[in-house]
């Protein structure tokens, strides 16, 4: 798809982030299963439900643009998930694995925060007020998840240092 206007960039990035969310929705249950810390497990399970809602919200954004919600494979998220798979297969003590899982999850969250931040800026500049409202809601959730992971990390990292 040729990129001739900011609208083209916006649509392309929407397709990319839709793919990212769908990939994350498949990875989160596996991460929750590998987590030994109950708070971390709960954080992953909660974010899975948020991610499902975020996918629905993205589909609404596509509707506001009168475009089909077609994902374009997000190679960045695919790479982050591949790193996460490697972490899950590590021969590590439980708290150490949890610390690694948090690091992997926060990499994904930071990627999403960057993507949604860009989309919010572009939606505002393009006058897509309905899309902007929906995207801001997701951006706030992504930031909140990152903060929750940071709080859980404080406990997990202490346990990992003791192992």
Mind giving me the DSSP string for 57-68? HHHHHHHHTT--
Mind giving me the DSSP string for 15-62? HHHHHHHHHHHHHHHHHHHH--SHHHHHHHHHHHHHHHHHHHHHHHHH
Q: What is the pLDDT of residue 162?
A: 85
Average pLDDT over residues 98-107: 96
Which range, of 25-34, 82-91, 139-148, averages the lowest pLDDT? 82-91
Fold of the domain built from segment(s) 6-162: Ferritin (1.20.1260)
**Neighbouring residues of 103: CB distance < 8 A, sequence distance ≥ 6:** 87
pTM over 0.85: yes
Domain boundaries along the sequence of the chain? 6-162
User: Is the model's pLDDT at 134 over the cut of 70?
Assistant: yes
Q: What is the largest CA-CA distance in the chain?
A: 55
Q: What is the pLDDT of residue 93?
A: 93
User: Is the model's pLDDT at 2 over the cut of 80?
Assistant: no
Q: How confident is the model at residue 90 (pLDDT cuts 50, 70, 90)?
A: confident
């Amino acid at each position: 798809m040729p990129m001739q206007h900011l609208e083209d960039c916006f649509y392309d990035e929407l397709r990319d982030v839709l793919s990212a969310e769908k990939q994350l929705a498949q990875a989160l249950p596996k991460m929750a299963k590998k987590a030994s810390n109950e708070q971390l497990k709960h954080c992953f399970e909660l974010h899975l439900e948020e991610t499902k809602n975020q996918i629905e919200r993205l589909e609404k954004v596509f509707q506001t643009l009168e475009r089909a919600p077609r994902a374009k494979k997000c190679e960045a998220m695919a790479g982050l998930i591949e790193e996460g798979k490697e972490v899950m297969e590590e021969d590590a003590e439980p708290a150490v694995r949890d610390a690694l899982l948090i690091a992997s999850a926060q990499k994904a969250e930071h990627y999403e925060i960057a993507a949604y931040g860009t989309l919010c800026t572009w939606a505002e500049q393009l006058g897509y007020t309905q899309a902007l409202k929906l995207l801001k809601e997701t951006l706030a959730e992504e930031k909140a998840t990152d903060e929750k992971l940071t709080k859980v990390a404080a406990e997990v990292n202490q346990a990992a240092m003791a192992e």
